[in-house]
A and B are shown apart, each in its own frame.
Chain A
Amino acid sequence: MIYPMLEVIGLVNRFGTQVVHNGLNMEVRADEVFGIVGGSGTGKSVLLRSILGLQRPQAGIIRIDGRDITKMTMSQLYEVKARYGVTFQQGALYSALTVLENVELPMIEHVEMAPEARDELAMLKIRLAGLPADAAKKYPSQLSGGMIKRAALARALALDPKLLFLDEPTSGLDPISASEFDELILYLQKELRLTVVMITHDLDTIFRTCNRVGVIVDHHMEVDTLEGIVNNPNPWIQSYFHGERARARLERHGT
């Protein structure tokens, strides 16, 4: 049986009496860009944390590349973690390390490699993320918001993952930087044949990059293609894609 790149079946997450997910299903196929959308507090981050193995769900199966991570021991999970890259919303760069050291950290952790080779490979990733070479020696506090996002992306690419998770990749960026970042993601997705899963609120990003979209409503997920989801009858999805802010974009993208 061929498994999809990422598969979530019947996920249940509860905190006390508060239900976050109740039987959430999603499936991400290889080489697609999958967008996760949802209102504030609907558990987008909880979903991501469950998929990343940062918290165990009450029930459900999460398969990454066909392997169920909810049943794994810590050491098995460690191996799986080398196969995907993650960028967090605020970048989560290690503030005491330079950008270069940030990118090298996963390599040091997982791969045996000569320091010179590591330096050059890390530089390659930094350039690939569209950062100038002199950014490598800088500390995160010396970077602009856009550069932090790019540095986080370079670190996520450090181990050449097949699967890339992006948490709000364009939040806090100006529209020009945000659309440049969209193009970068598309470029990398095409060149490196990445599977990208992104949480985003940015309608421009959704329309520009995503092949399919999953919307979290009522503790489960509605998954469809971009055209399909826009025409979904659910009132929340309707107001999300047809609200004041969305209408102008829909016209522009001609969807």
Chain B
Amino acid sequence: MSRLDPAAEQAIDWMLRLHSGASASTDAAAFAAWHAHDEANRAAWARLSERLDGPYAQVRAIDARLPGQAGEVREVLLRPPQRRRFLLRSLAAAGLLGGSAWLTDRVTPLATLTADLRTGTGERRDIRLADGSQLALNARSAVDVAFDGHTRALYLRRGELVVDVAPGDRPFLVHTRHGSARALGTRFAVREEGSRSLVAMLAHSTELLAANGHRLRLEEGESAVLDGNGIARLSLRPASLGAWTGGLLVADDLPLAEVVERLRPYCRGLLRLAPNAAGLRVQGVFPLDDPARSFTALAETLPLKVADYGLFILIEAA
């Protein structure tokens, strides 16, 4: 590989020397002199340090608390690309699956592990699960189903769902990467949003457990958000969170950015919202299955310029 500029090459040399475990105190003084020598050296060192920090530092931090995690990450990264999931099958055959918080304690049959339900743009699905529970999936959503003798679990990878839980002996849980909701009653909505998840109770109650250990019991009519900080109550009316099951978007003083996000899974074309329009407040009910009409309605009540090319929509402040 070709060399970088002198300052960068020297920074790399220093990085290796200082972390070789064999540096002497003379090295520290020599490094300080090099670093102080000019701006180019300092900039190169800063840049290199930054590039070598980030995800590597995060892994090391977690490894400090849980020895072995760094090794796990390393092995995943060094694994040669595999075309078939024969590893998973052989693990199942050896009875070795299980033990993580997401998979249950018992051996999980492969069929339920790999089952997944996905919806495309503009597509809603109503699915009856094996135990009789009813699942409604919004557009562009993905859910994994893992039912076994022990629990009934759903993992919402992205998008949103409403579930009507059938009575049964096994606990019914919906997991997202931010935490889980355990049904104590029957009907609730879950939405996965990347950095957080929202849960709303439509009938009876659930118990929420965030990734950081916070717990909260949610009663009918209540909603909450789960993220890295735990669980916080929301003043959203659950009916508005679940309105998509009827093909509607209910905006109760929502920022336009949020309204666009709710319409996005129903738009086939590119959707671009200019920052100068993102904060406008929206009130109203909009048809999800006819996004063009929704945008027209928005343009009538808000100071917006909607350039609708059919396949490509650009929304800006007027």
**A interacts with B:** no
Give me the interface of B with A, judged by CB distance under 8 Å.
none
Give me the interface of A with B, judged by CB distance under 8 Å.
none
